[in-house]
Each structure stands twice: as C-alpha cells, then as structure tokens.
C-alpha cells in the first residue's frame, strides 16, 4: 500500500467520522467540531494531491481551507452563544422555530 | 373677453387639483377653496355683463378646446358653448356655490378633513359648471358623472358613520340607474344623427325626425331617465332624503346649485328633442305633478329638519319638471334660479340651527330659536315666504306664478295638471311654515349646544363668514322675482329676453286671465299657511291631526324605500346568495384546495431538525457522486 493510498484512506475515514458526528450528535458544539474534522480531511486530500504531482497548489488550497475554517468557527461560535442565550441549551433540535 | 369663459369651470378645477395634491395650511385651504369659486363667479358676472351689453350675433358663442374622439363617422371634439341658458345657470351655480363655500370655511372649521372637503366641493362645482357650459353631449356627460362622483364622496364625507356610507352608496347607485338611460340616449343620438354637439342636434333634429316618431320618442325617454335620476323625481327619488347624511353645506350645494338641477337643465337644453316627443313631454309633466304631491305630503310628516328640506327640494324640482313638460322652458329655468337662492338660504340657515343645537336635527325638539338666532330667523323667513310663493316681496311667487300660468294656458297642460300644482302650492306653504313654526317660534324644547350662560350671552350664529352668505342670499330670494313679472305687475321681461335666444318662449303667451288665475294659487298658499298655523297652535307637537298610519306612510316618503327593498334589493341579495356556490365558484374553490394541499406537502419538508437537513445534503451529494462515477 503506497503512502498515497494510506493518506487517502485516512482522509476518507476522517471525513466519514466527521459526517457521522454531525449527523448523530445533537450538541451544536460537537457538530461544529465534527465539521472542522471534515474540513481537515478535505485539506489532507489537497496536500496529498499537491505532493503527488509536485505542485504548490495543494498547499495553497490547504491554507485557504484553514482561513475558511477559522472564519467559520468564529461565526459558528457566535451563533452558538446566541443559541445558548435564547434556548438555554446547545441542543440543535430545540432550535427549530422555522419549521413549516 | 367672452372667449375667456372656459375659465369659469377651469378655476375651481385647478383649485381642486391643487388642494388634492398639496398639503396646505388651513388658512390657505379656505382661501383657495372659497377664492377660486369666488373668482369663477366674478368671471361669470363679468362675462354676463359683457354678454348682455354686446350679445354675440348668433345668440351664442362656441369654443372648441381640442379634438377628443375621432372615429369613423363620429367626431367628438371637446367644445364649450355659451348662451343665455348656460350663462344663467353658470351665474347661479358659481354665485350660490361661492356663498356656500364662504359659509363652509367657518362651518366646517372644526373638521379634521378640511382640505379633502374643499377639494371635493371645488370639484363638485367645477363638474357642474362644465356640465352647463358643455356643447358636446359627451362633455356634458363627463360633468354629469363628475357631479355624481362628487356627490357620492361628499354625502359619504363622514365615512366612519355607517349611515353616511349607506346613503352615499344609495345616491350613487340610484342615480346610476338613470345615468345608464342617459348614456344609451347619447349612443342613440350619436348613431342616428352622427353628432353629439348640442347646437347641431338642436338644428338637425327637427329636419331628420318627425313629431312623435320612434327614434325621437326613444331618445327623449332615455334622456328623461337620466334627468329623473339626477333630479330625484319619481320613481328614482329615494336617494335624496338619505343624502342628508352629508354635511349641511354639501346638502345646500346638492340642492341649490349643483346635482339635482342638472336634470332640469338637461331637458331644457335638449328641448328640440323633447318637442318632437309629445308622449314623453306628457310623462315629464305627470312625473313633475306626481312628485310635487308625493314630496309635498312627505315633507309635511318629517321630523328631521334636513329631511323636510330634502322633500321640499323634490317638490320644487317637480314644479320645474311640470313646466318643462308643458314646454314652458323659460319658467322652469326661472324657477331654478329663484329656487337656488332660497333653497341654499334655507339649508345654510338650517345648518346654523343644527350647529346651535349641537347636532340636533329633530324639529320636535327645536322651537323658540328666533330670539337666539335673529339673523338666521329673518333670512329663513324670507326664504320660507319665497318657497311658499306668497307675494309680494318674494322671488318664488313670480317664478311659480309663471309656471302655473304656463301650465294652465299651454295646450299640453290643462286643468288637471294645474290643479295638482295648486294643491302643491298649498302643501308647499303648509310644510314650509310648519318648519318655520316648529323651529323658530314657540317655546324652546331643547338645550343648546353650549348651554345657558356658558357663552356669556353671545349669539351662536357665528362670524361674518356665516352671516354674510345668509344676508346676501336673502336679497335675490326676496327680489329676484322682479326681473320677470306678470302683465298686471309691470310686465317686465328681462329674464325671458335673456333666455330668448337659447330657449323658445312658452307656447302660450301670458293672457289677461293671469290675475284671475292668481287667486286660487294664492288662496291655496294662504290656506297652507293657515293650516300649518292651526295645527301648530292646537297640537303643539303633532303638526297635522292625521291618523298615525298616514303620517307614518308620508314620513317614509310613501313607502318607496320599502317597496324597492321588496322588489329589487331583497331579490337581488337572494339571487346573490343562491348563486354563491355555482359551478364557476366550485372550480375556483378546487384550485384553492389543490394549492393548499401542495403547500402542506411542501411544508412537511421544513421539519426544523438541522441534522435531517444535513443528512439530506449528504445523501444528495452521495447520489450525485455515484452518478458521476457510474456514467
């Protein structure tokens, strides 16, 4: 098994774990963490691809994802604070006032 | 100078537009609203003087404003026409209109919607002036409908009161019945004569149609339908008493200057068409006579001061119709002029009384007001004498005498119509003086609005803006008759001479029996006065010793409202209820139900659970990926 395959399997595993976390957990903080995991899995694939073809683009994309993740977390945490203030918990299912 | 007469309707119209568009301070609203009509009256008088001093050679002056409609075989330019008839109407309308506006500046001062009131009043006067000055029948119709619209908006001025809304709607719908007839008449004239110009119709009609021929009768009957609706004659009279729900100046305007006299004007203007339809003329006379009797007796039984005045207007317009029906065009217009002055005066005086009593309109709760409101009392008395046509210092005496004489002498008139008119004189006199006695004489039966002492003895008649119109109107109400007097009283013929070029004179000239004919009508007038006095003295409260049932019948205006309710309103409502669930409605109900179902289904998706949305997203992405890989 080449290094590339190992990396891809790792990335896939991380992505699925993150997705499962988002789907299964109701705590929004954990859901946010899981999304970070999924983002990093994608970043890992970019780095792998960059090293596979010897191009700098993969690392550039990874930096981009880092910036994206940082901004997403800041907004997400802000929303989280508001959610906690209004509902008294971090349960995503209780924030369902927009349901049709 | 004469060519500037388009300014007469244009001034109030411009002012109405300004008032409608700009938020002006109250003082400016009053100045613009009353000033524009005043200016229009001044222009009107100046043109009138010019017209008398140097009349146009053909007796009239046309003015083409612009081409309006031009279709195959029919061109309708917007043309105005000024002749003696139009000028007489315009002078009365603008003058009386101005005085009513002046009165309103003070009378409506406590009103929230001051600006709306004056904008509508100006538009009302402008529409009426356009109506009388129009040469094209279509332009006349525009003014006609403008008058109808303004009356609707002004009767419903206090639209928060259900009564006012209902009355406004009733006035609009009932006159609409007549207007439909008028419009059909217009179409008939346009298709068969190829023109809508009134002067051209007047010239052309005797050449194209024979006397009593079918198109002439049809056209005259359709025009009559419109006139009957606007002038509140039988059988479309029911809207007028209810129209009293509007503010008092509006009632004065509707009754004296604008609106109800439009029908009289229309028939007089279309005299050439009516002369060719003797059957219709007879109908006009009979309608007039019947309305005189119906409205006169109804006025006798009213408790509400304004309703009594409304019925009195109906009966006075009935005299004009009677005169028109016997082809006495000039007496009809003369009675219009005198009636405009004394009826405006009566309404404005009634407004003072109603304000003084804090909105009280029930005559049984009035009385003894002559000390408190002396100016109002004396001017009201002048107007009453004029309406009851008691000689000598009254305008109504001369105009009504002229009508009675014409009815008796005319080949189309005759003894029975004349007798009805004489009975009408007695009724008129009786209800007029009943009002006067109940309102002003006797002992007070109600508290005033501001109670004793609170005002420190100050009279509640109001300022100059209230009193000047009353006093000014009293002058023509008393003296206007002297421009047109019978043979034995100087034989002055100013009014007839003025109208002479526009309207043919009465078919029969005044004869020497005039003095003899005067006796029964004056006896009738005095009898009415005596009757009213006796009933008032003897009974105090009940005006005439009538069985309660007859009084109820008269008070309801001979039960026409109830009759129309049973005949028209209720069947229509029932039909409406019955057709409520028909096929078309069912179909649209189905469409609505289908949409509602779709909406429910769609909203099921929006469950509000974030994790379910994420799952849907992930599954969707997986499906797309699988598709990309496999294809």
Q: Residues A84-89: what's their mean pLDDT?
A: 87
Average pLDDT over residues B31-48: 90
Angstroms from B627 CA to nearest CA on chain A: 19
- Dihedral (C-alpha) B187, B190, B192, B193: value to the nearest 10 degrees? 160
Q: What is the pLDDT of residue A97?
A: 73
Answer yes or no: do A93 and B609 touch at CB < 8 A.
Answer: yes
* pLDDT digit string, tens, across residues B480-509: 877 777 766 666 777 777 777 777 766 555
Does B605 sit within 8 Å of A99, measured CB to CB?
no
Compute the distance between CA of residue A22 and CA of residue A25 in angstroms, rounded to an integer.
Answer: 6
pLDDT band for position B458 (cuts 50, 70, 90): very low
What span, in angstroms and rounded, lies between the C-alpha atoms of B273 and A29? Answer: 93
Structure tokens at B498: 């003025």
User: Which residues of A fall below an 8 Å CB-CB distance to B?
Assistant: 19, 22-24, 26, 31, 92-93, 95-100
Percent of chain B past pLDDT 70, that is, above it, reads 93
The residue that leads in pLDDT, B127 or B518, is B127
Which of A19, A92, A99 is opposite residue B606, by nearest beta carbon?
A99
The pLDDT value recorded for residue B239 is 85
Q: Greater confidence, B545 or B323?
A: B323
- The one-character DSSP state at B391 is S
Give the one of B602, B605, B610 whose C-beta lies nearest to A92's C-beta: B610
Q: Distance (Å, rounded) from C-alpha B290 to C-alpha B250?
A: 27
Report whether A25 contacts A12 (CB < 8 A). Answer: no
The pLDDT of residue B491 is: 67
Which residue blocks in B460-582 are alpha helix, DSSP H?
464-479, 494-499, 514-539, 548-555, 560-564, 570-578
Task: Please report residues of B whose CB lies closer than 8 A to that of A93.
Answer: 609-611
- In tens, the pLDDT along B424-438 reads 888 888 888 888 888
Residue (of B53, B65, B60, B50) closest to B9 by Cα position = B65
Selected residue with higher pLDDT from B512 and B624? B624
CB atoms < 10 A from the CB of B444, how many?
14
Q: How many CB atoms lie within 10 A of CB B268?
A: 24
> With an 8 Å Cβ cutoff, are A95 and B615 in contact?
no
Q: 3-class DSSP state for residue B158?
A: coil
Chain B residues touching chain A at CB-CB below 8 Å: 602-611, 614-615, 618
Mean pLDDT computed over B73-95: 85
Average pLDDT value over all residues in chain B = 83
Decide if A93 and B611 are in contact by the 8 Å CB cutoff.
yes
Query: What is the pLDDT averaged over residues B190-214?
Result: 84
Q: Contact, B12 vs B40, CB < 8 A? A: yes
pLDDT at B539: 58
Distance, in Å, from the CA atom of B107 to the CA atom of B46, rounded to the nearest integer, reads 29
- Give residue B621's pLDDT: 92
B129 and B93 Cβ atoms separated by less than 8 Å: yes
Q: Which domains does chain A have, with CATH numbers?
A: 3-89 (1.10.287.3510)
The residue with tokens 């002006």 is: B24
pLDDT of residue B593: 95
Q: What is the 3-state secondary structure (H, E, C) of B101-131?
A: HHHHHHHCCCCCCHHHHHHHHHHHHHHHHHH
Minimal C-alpha gap between B612 and chain A (Å)? 8
Q: Which pLDDT band holds residue B456 (cuts at 50, 70, 90)?
A: very low
pLDDT above 90 as % of chain B:
10
Mean of pLDDT values over B368-397: 82
| Res. B547: pLDDT tops 70 | no
State the average pLDDT over residues B577-603.
Answer: 88
pLDDT for residue B459 is more than 70: no
Q: What is the mean pLDDT of residues B408-414?
A: 77
Nearest CA in chain A to B599: A100
Q: Which of B602, B606, B615 sits opposite A23 (nearest CB)?
A: B615
Contacts of B416 (CB under 8 A, 6+ apart): none
Interface test with A, best of B598, B606, B610 (most A CBs within 10 A): B610
Q: Contact B506/B327 with Cβ under 8 angstroms?
A: yes
Please report residues of A whose CB lies closer than 8 A to that of B614: 22-23
Q: Is the Cβ pair B608, A92 closer than 8 Å?
A: no
Residues in B closer than 8 angstroms to A26, CB to CB, are 611
Q: Do B611 and A100 touch (CB under 8 A)?
A: no
pLDDT (mean) for B448-455: 44
Residue B553 has pLDDT above 80, yes or no: no
Whether B207 shows a pLDDT value over 90: the answer reads: no
Predicted confidence at residue B457, as pLDDT, reads 39
Q: What are the boundaries of each domain within chain B?
A: 1-178+236-265, 286-545, 582-630
User: What's residue B513's pLDDT?
Assistant: 64
Give this complex's ipTM. 0.84
Helix axes B278-300, B305-325, angle to 10 degrees: 160
Of the candidates A19, A92, A99, the beta carbon closest to that of B618 is on A19
């Amino acid at each position: 098994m080449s290094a590339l395959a190992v990396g891809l399997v790792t990335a896939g595993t991380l992505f699925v774990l993150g997705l499962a976390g988002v789907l299964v957990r109701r705590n929004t903080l954990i859901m946010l963490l899981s999304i970070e995991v999924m983002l990093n899995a994608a970043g890992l694939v970019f780095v792998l691809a960059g090293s596979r073809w010897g191009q700098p683009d993969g690392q550039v994309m990874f930096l981009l994802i880092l910036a994206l993740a940082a901004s997403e977390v800041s907004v997400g945490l802000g929303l989280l604070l508001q959610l906690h203030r209004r509902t008294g918990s971090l349960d995503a299912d209780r924030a369902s006032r927009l349901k049709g | 100078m004469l060519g500037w007469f388009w300014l007469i309707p244009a001034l109030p119209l411009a002012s109405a537009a300004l008032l409608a568009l700009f938020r002006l301070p109250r003082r400016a609203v009053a100045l613009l609203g009353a000033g524009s009509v005043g200016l229009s009256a001044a222009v009107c008088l100046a043109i009138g003087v010019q017209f008398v001093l140097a009349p146009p050679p053909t007796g009239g002056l046309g003015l083409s404003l612009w081409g309006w409609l031009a279709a195959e075989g029919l061109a309708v330019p917007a043309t105005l026409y000024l002749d003696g008839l139009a000028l007489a109407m315009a002078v009365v309308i603008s003058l009386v209109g101005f005085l009513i506006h002046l009165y309103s500046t003070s009378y409506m001062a406590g009103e929230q919607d001051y600006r709306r009131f004056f904008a509508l009043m100006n538009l009302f006067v402008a529409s009426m002036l356009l109506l009388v000055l129009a040469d094209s029948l279509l332009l006349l119709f525009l003014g006609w409908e403008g008058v109808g619209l303004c009356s609707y908006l002004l009767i419903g001025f206090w639209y928060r009161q259900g009564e006012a809304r209902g009355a406004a709607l009733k006035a609009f719908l009932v006159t609409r019945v007549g207007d439909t007839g008028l419009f059909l008449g217009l179409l008939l004239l346009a298709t068969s004569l190829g023109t809508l110009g009134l002067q051209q119709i007047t010239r052309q009609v005797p050449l194209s149609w024979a006397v009593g021929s079918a198109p002439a009768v049809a056209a005259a009957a359709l025009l009559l339908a419109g006139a009957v609706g606007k002038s509140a004659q039988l059988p479309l009279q029911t809207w007028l008493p209810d129209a009293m729900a509007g503010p008092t100046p509006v009632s004065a305007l509707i009754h004296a200057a604008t609106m109800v006299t439009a029908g009289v004007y229309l028939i007089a203007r279309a005299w050439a068409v009516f002369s060719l339809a003797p059957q219709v003329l007879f109908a006009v006379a009979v309608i007039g006579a019947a309305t005189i009797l119906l409205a006169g007796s109804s006025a006798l039984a009213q408790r509400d001061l304004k309703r009594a005045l409304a019925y009195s207007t109906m009966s006075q317009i009935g005299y004009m119709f009677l005169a028109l029906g016997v082809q006495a065009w000039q007496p009809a217009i003369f009675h219009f002029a005198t009636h405009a002055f004394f009826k405006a005066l009566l309404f404005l005086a009634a407004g003072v009384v109603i304000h003084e009593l804090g909105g009280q309109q029930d005559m049984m709760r009035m009385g003894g007001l002559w000390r408190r409101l002396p100016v109002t009392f004396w001017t009201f008395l002048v107007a009453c004498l004029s309406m009851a046509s008691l000689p000598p210092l009254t305008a109504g005496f001369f105009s009504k005498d002229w009508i009675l004489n014409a009815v008796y002498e005319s080949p189309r008139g005759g003894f029975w119509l004349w007798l009805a008119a004489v009975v009408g004189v007695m009724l008129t006199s009786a209800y007029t003086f009943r009002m006067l006695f109940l309102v002003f004489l006797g002992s007070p039966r109600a508290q005033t609005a501001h109670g004793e002492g609170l005002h420190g003895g100050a009279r509640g008649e109001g300022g100059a803006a209230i009193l000047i119109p009353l006093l000014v109107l009293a002058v023509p109400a008393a003296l206007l008759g002297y421009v047109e007097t019978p043979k034995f009283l100087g034989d002055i013929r100013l009014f007839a001479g003025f109208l002479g070029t526009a309207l043919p004179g009465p078919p029969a000239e005044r004869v020497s029996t005039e003095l003899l004919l005067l006796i029964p009508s004056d006896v009738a007038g005095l009898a009415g006065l005596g009757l009213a006095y006796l009933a008032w003295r003897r009974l105090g409260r009940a005006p005439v010793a009538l069985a309660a049932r007859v009084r109820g019948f008269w008070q309801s205006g001979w039960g026409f409202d109830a009759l129309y309710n049973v005949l028209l309103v209720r069947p229509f409502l029932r039909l409406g209820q019955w057709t409520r669930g028909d096929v078309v409605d069912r179909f649209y109900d189905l469409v609505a139900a289908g949409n509602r179902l779709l909406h429910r289904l769609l909203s099921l998706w929006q469950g509000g659970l974030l994790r379910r949305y994420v799952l849907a997203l992930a599954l969707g992405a997986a499906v797309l990926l699988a598709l990309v890989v496999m294809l």
